[in-house]
C-alpha cells in the first residue's frame, strides 16, 4: 500500500503528516537560504538566529529568508527541496529514516502526495503547471492531489515515457553507433581524417535521431508541457538544437 503524505503549506506554516500513522512535522513558513550556494540553512527559524548558529560555517555569506508556496513565488527549486526535507524529517521522527525512498523505482510503489495550499487556484497557470510537473518528475509520485483535485499524469504513462526516452536516447543510438563503426569499410578506415569525420557524423545522427524519436513518441504518451519541463529542467542542458526540435515537433518554445 502506498504511503499517503499530506503537506499543509500556507503563509504561516510548512507541515507534513503521514495519514496512515498520524506522525506530523511542522515549521513556521520561514526558510533561511544561502542563495549564492543554493543551500537551505534552516526551516522555521528567524534569519538572525540561523546566522548566529551558522556563522562559524558560512562567515559573512549573504542569507535570505523566503516564504514558499505563495502566489508570487519564484523559488521552485527551494520548494522541491523543502518537500524532500520535510519527508526526511518525518521519516527520521518515525524511525524510518533508513527506509525512506524519495525516488521509488516503480510508480506503483510511489507515494500519494496530498498538498493543501490555500489560494492555489489563484496562482498563475504557468506556476501551477511547473510545480505539478516538478513534483511528479522529482518524486515520481503515484498520485498528486492539490486542494482535493488529482493533478497527476497517470503514473504508468510517466513511467512509459521514461522507458521510451531511455530506449531512443540511450540504447538505440548507442547500438546504432557501434554498428556503424564496425560496418565502416576498410578503405574508409585507411583514411584517418575521413574515418574520423564518418564517426562524428554517425554520433551526431544517432544522437539527434534518438531525440527526435523520443520527442515524437513522448507527446503521444504524456502532455507536451510535461515533456517540455523534463527537457528543460530534468534532463540536463537544453541545447539550441533541442530548442529547435521542441518548436518543430511540439510547437512549444524551450528556454536554455
Q: What is the pLDDT of residue 187?
A: 87
Q: What is the pTM of this model?
A: 0.79
Residue 201 in this model has a pLDDT that exceeds 70: yes
Q: Give the pLDDT band (50/70/90) at residue 108.
A: very low
Domains of the chain listed by start with CATH number = 4-29+67-150 (3.30.420.40), 155-250 (no CATH)
C-alpha cell at 20: 496512515
Question: Tell me: the pLDDT tens digits for 70-101?
Answer: 887 778 889 999 999 999 899 888 766 444 44
Q: Which carries the bigger pLDDT value, residue 99 or residue 41?
A: 41
Question: Tell me: the pLDDT tens digits for 204-251?
Answer: 898 899 999 999 999 999 999 898 888 887 656 678 888 899 999 998
Percentage of the chain modeled with pLDDT above 90: 39
Amino acid at each position: 500500500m502506498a504511503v499517503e503524505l499530506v503537506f499543509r503549506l500556507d503563509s504561516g506554516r510548512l507541515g507534513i503528516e503521514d495519514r496512515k500513522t498520524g506522525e506530523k512535522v511542522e515549521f513556521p513558513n520561514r526558510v533561511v537560504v544561502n542563495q549564492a550556494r543554493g543551500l537551505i540553512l534552516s526551516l522555521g527559524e528567524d534569519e538572525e538566529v540561523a546566522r548566529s548558529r551558522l556563522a562559524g560555517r558560512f562567515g559573512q555569506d549573504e542569507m535570505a529568508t523566503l516564504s514558499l508556496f505563495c502566489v508570487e513565488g519564484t523559488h521552485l527549486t527551494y520548494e522541491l527541496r523543502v518537500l524532500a526535507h520535510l519527508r526526511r524529517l518525518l521519516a527520521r521522527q518515525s524511525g524510518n529514516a533508513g527506509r525512506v525512498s524519495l525516488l521509488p523505482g516503480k510508480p506503483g510503489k510511489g507515494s500519494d502526495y496530498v498538498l493543501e495550499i490555500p489560494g492555489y487556484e489563484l496562482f498563475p497557470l504557468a506556476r501551477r503547471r511547473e510545480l505539478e510537473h516538478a513534483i511528479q518528475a522529482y518524486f515520481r509520485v503515484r498520485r498528486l492531489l492539490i486542494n482535493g483535485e488529482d493533478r497527476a499524469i497517470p503514473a504508468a504513462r510517466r513511467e512509459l515515457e521514461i522507458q521510451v526516452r531511455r530506449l531512443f536516447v540511450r540504447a538505440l543510438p548507442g547500438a546504432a553507433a557501434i554498428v556503424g563503426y564496425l560496418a565502416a569499410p576498410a578503405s574508409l578506415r585507411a583514411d584517418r581524417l575521413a574515418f574520423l569525420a564518418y564517426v562524428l557524423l554517425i554520433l551526431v545522427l544517432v544522437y539527434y535521431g534518438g531525440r527526435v524519436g523520443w520527442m515524437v513518441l513522448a507527446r503521444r504518451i504524456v502532455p507536451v508541457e510535461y515533456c517540455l519541463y523534463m527537457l528543460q529542467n530534468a534532463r540536463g542542458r537544453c541545447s539550441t538544437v533541442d530548442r529547435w526540435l521542441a518548436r518543430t515537433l511540439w510547437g512549444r518554445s524551450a528556454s536554455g
